[in-house]
Chain A
Amino acid sequence: MDIWSFITNPFVSIYQLIRSLLTSLLGLIGLSGDVASVILFFIMGGLVITVILLVAPLLMMYMTWLERKVVARMQDRVGPNRVGAFGLLQPIADMIKFLTKEDIVPQGVDKPVHLLAPIVVVIPVILSFAVLQFGVGMGAVDLNLSLLFLLAMGSVATIAVFMAGFGSHNKFALIGGMRAAAQIISYEIPQILAVAVIVLLAGTISLNGVIEKQSGLFGLGWYILYLPVGPIAFFIFLLAATAEINRVPFDLPEAESELVAGYHTEYSGMKFGLFYLAEFLNTFIISAVAASIFFGGWQGPFVQQIPALGIAYFFGKTILLIFIQLWFRGTLPRIRVDQLMNFGWKRLVPATLALILFTATFLWAYRLFNQFLTSLGG
Chain B
Amino acid sequence: MDLIGIISQVVFFLVAALTLAAAFATVLLRNVFHAGLALVGTFFGVAAIYLMLEAEFLAIVQVLIYIGAIAVLILFAIMLTRSLMKNEDSGMNKQWAWAAIAISTLFLGMFIVILQVPWLLNTSVIGTDIVPFLGTELLTTYLLPFEIVSVLLLATLIGAFIIARE
**A interface with B by C-beta (< 8 Å):** 34-35, 38, 110, 112-113, 116, 143-145, 148-149, 151-152, 155-156, 158-159, 162-163, 166, 174, 178, 181, 185, 188, 205
Given known A113-B37, A148-B57, A166-B33, contact A34–B68 (CB-CB < 8 A) = no
Q: Which of B7-60 contact A (CB under 8 A)?
A: 7, 31, 33-34, 37, 40, 56-57, 60
User: If the complex has contacts A166-B33, A181-B76, are A156 and B60 also in contact, measured as CB distance less than 8 A?
Assistant: no
B153 at the interface (CB under 8 A from A): no
CB-CB nearest 6 A-B residue pairs: A155-B68, A152-B64, A152-B63, A34-B3, A148-B60, A144-B129
With known contacts A113-B33, A159-B72, A163-B37, A38–B60 Cβ distance under 8 A: no
Chain A residue numbers with a CB within 8 Å of B63 are 152, 155-156
**Quick one: which of B33, B34, B64, B129 contacts A155, CB cutoff 8 A?**
B64
Q: Which chain A residue has the least Cβ–Cβ distance from B128?
A: A144
Known contacts A163-B37, A166-B33; is A145 also within 8 Å of B56 by CB? yes
30 A-B pairs whose Cβ atoms sit less than 8 Å apart in the complex: A34-B2, A35-B3, A113-B37, A116-B37, A143-B56, A145-B60, A148-B64, A152-B60, A152-B61, A152-B63, A152-B68, A155-B63, A155-B67, A155-B68, A156-B63, A156-B68, A158-B68, A159-B68, A162-B75, A162-B76, A163-B37, A166-B33, A166-B75, A166-B79, A178-B76, A181-B76, A185-B68, A185-B69, A185-B72, A188-B68
Q: Which chain B residues (140-164) contact chain A, with CB distance < 8 Å?
A: none
Report the minimal beta-carbon distance from B116 to chain A, rounded to whole angstroms.
34
A144 contacts B56, C-beta separation under 8 Å: yes
Q: Say whether B68 contacts A145, CB under 8 Å.
A: no
The answer to whether B131 and A145 have CB atoms under 8 Å apart is: yes
> Whole-angstrom distance from the CB of B69 to the nearest CB of chain A?
7
Q: Dominant SS at the B interface? A: helix
Interface residues of B, Cβ cutoff 8 Å to A: 2-4, 7, 31, 33-34, 37, 40, 56-57, 60-61, 63-64, 67-69, 71-72, 75-76, 79, 129, 131
Closest to B80 in A: A178
Q: Do A38 and B75 touch across chains, with their CB atoms under 8 A apart? A: no
Given A144-B56, A145-B56, verify A162-B131 contact (CB < 8 Å).
no
Closest to B73 in A: A185
Q: Which of A143, A151, A155 has the most CB of B within 10 A?
A: A155
A149 near B72: Cβ-Cβ < 8 Å: no
When distances are taken between beta carbons in the complex, the residues of chain A under 8 Å from B61 are 148, 152
Cα separation A156 to B40 with both chains bound (whole Å):
10
With both beta carbons as reference points, the residue of chain A lying nearest to B2 in the complex is identified as A34
How many angstroms from the CA of A265 to the CA of B7 in the assembled complex? 44
Q: Contacts A34-B3, A145-B131, A166-B33 hold; do A159 and B40 have CB atoms under 8 A apart?
A: yes
CB distance A205 to B131 under 8 Å? yes
Cα of A112 to Cα of B38 in the assembled complex, Å = 12
Extra inter-chain contacts (18) besides given A155-B69, A159-B72, A185-B69, CB under 8 Å: A38-B3, A38-B7, A110-B33, A113-B34, A145-B131, A148-B64, A152-B64, A155-B63, A155-B64, A156-B63, A158-B72, A159-B68, A159-B75, A166-B33, A166-B75, A166-B79, A178-B79, A188-B68
Residues of A within 8 A of B131 (CB): 144-145, 205
Are A151 and B56 in contact, CB atoms less than 8 angstroms apart?
no
User: In the complex, which residues of chain A have a beta carbon less than 8 angstroms from the beta carbon of B3?
Assistant: 34-35, 38
Cβ–Cβ < 8 Å partners of B2 in chain A: 34
B37 CB to closest chain A CB, in angstroms?
7
User: Chain B residues near A145 (CB, 8 Å)?
Assistant: 56-57, 60, 131
Closest chain A residue, CB of each to CB of B71: A159
Q: Given the complex, which residues of B lie within 8 Å of A143, measured CB to CB?
A: 56
Q: Determine the chain B residues whose CB is within 8 A of the CB of A149 once the complex forms.
A: 60
Q: Which A residues touch B76, using CB under 8 A? A: 162, 178, 181
A-side contacts of B79, CB under 8 Å = 166, 174, 178
List the B residue with the shortest CB-CB distance to A209. B129
Residues in B neighbouring A174, C-beta threshold 8 A = 79
The distance from the CB of B22 to the nearest CB of chain A, in whole angstroms, is 14
Residues on A with beta carbons closer than 8 Å to the beta carbon of B129: 144
Cβ contacts under 8 Å, A155 to chain B: 63-64, 67-69
Question: A178 CB to closest chain B CB, in angstroms?
Answer: 8
Residues of B within 8 A of A188 (CB): 68
**How far is B33's CA from A63's CA once the two chains are assembled, in angstroms?**
36
**Chain A residues near B56 (CB-CB < 8 A):** 143-145
- Taking CB atoms, residues of chain B closer than 8 Å to A112 are 34
List the B side residues contacting A181 at CB < 8 Å: 72, 76
